[in-house]
Structure 1
Amino acid sequence: MTDSPRERLAAVRRDAIERLASLEAQLDDIAEARRGANSDDEHDPEGSTLAFDRAQAAVLAADSRHVIEEVDAAVGRLDAGTYGVCERCGRPIGAARLELRPTARLCVTCQAQAERRSG
């Protein structure tokens, strides 16, 4: 890929903003459906309820907001000249990792250590 980190980050941010707008519209639709329904359980018993749909959309919207925050933080690192430097060990984050995960804060080794500790 030949895009610069700033271009990759901008694309990720645009996608997250579009996803968030869609999810917020979905949440509005669910809220409107709840106002018009006597009960959330009037759905097909095999289908999902409005409460489940709302919870799922809310979690996905929160994830999109988190992605936007991570992109903004990565742009801040770009501006500060620390983008691509592991926040834990100070070594460079590999180009392949940054291409796949442009908001990465840790190198692969430090990320694996962090996941082992939390897992």
Structure 2
Amino acid sequence: MTDPRERLEAERRRTTRRLAQLRGDFDEVVEASRDTNADDEHDPEGATIAFERSQIDTLVRLADQTLTDVDAALARLDAGTYGTCEVCGRPIDPERLEVRPTARTCVGCTPPPR
């Protein structure tokens, strides 16, 4: 297993780069929409500009949430609580942390997906 801090910091770097790319993509879509007076809602070429903006905005929000989760995990690491389930207080399986380094709970205490 790799060092948790190294994994978390690598994830933070990847997500930060991805976020910058997404924000650039968003700016390009907005700029492209200013240069055209095409009928966005009836574009025979495919997705509307509004859809593309919405899709990129959703990806930006997900990346922002990832950064929040990574920062919280780094804070738990600094506090000495990283790897401890926030619900039951037992250790989180190292294999779970390897796959999901921002995990706050053990598998048994993880709520089912909505």
Match of 2:58 in 1: 59
How many matched pairs? Answer: 114
Whether 1:73 aligns to 2:76 is no
Cα deviation for residue 98 of structure 1 reads 0.1
* CA apart distance, 1:80: 0.4
For residue 45 of structure 1, report the CA deviation from its aligned partner: 2.0
Equivalent residue number for residue 9 of structure 1: 8
- Amino acid of the structure 1 residue aligned with 2:44: P
Question: Relative to structure 1, is the Cα distance of residues 107 and 65 closer, same or farther in structure 2, using a 3 angstrom cutoff?
Answer: same
Q: What is the alpha-carbon distance in structure 2 between the residues aligned to residue 40 and residue 76 of structure 1?
A: 48
Contact kept, 8 Å, 1:41 with 1:49, in 2: the verdict is yes
Could you tell me how far 1:34 is from its partner in structure 2?
A: 1.2
SS in 2 for 1:23: helix
Aligned to 1:37: 36
Aligned to 1:84: 83
Q: Which runs of 5+ in 2 are unaligned?
A: none
Structure 1 counterpart of 2:97, which letter? Answer: L
AA matched with 2:29: I
One-letter code aligned to 1:25 = G
Percent of paired sites with the same residue: 54
Paired amino acid for 1:74: A
Larger helix proportion, structure 1 or 2? Answer: 1
Q: Secondary structure at the match of 1:85?
A: coil
- 1:38 Cα shift? 1.0
Q: Partners of 1:75 and 1:14 in 2: how far apart?
A: 13
Shift of 1:41: 1.8
- Residue 84 of structure 1 aligns with an amino acid whose one-letter code is G
TM-score between the two structures when normalised by the length of structure 1: 0.89
Query: Which TM-score applies when normalising by structure 2?
Result: 0.93
- Preserved CA contact (<8 Å) 1:97 1:104: yes
Q: CA deviation at 1:40?
A: 4.8
Q: Which blocks of at least 5 consecutive residues in structure 1 are unaligned? A: none
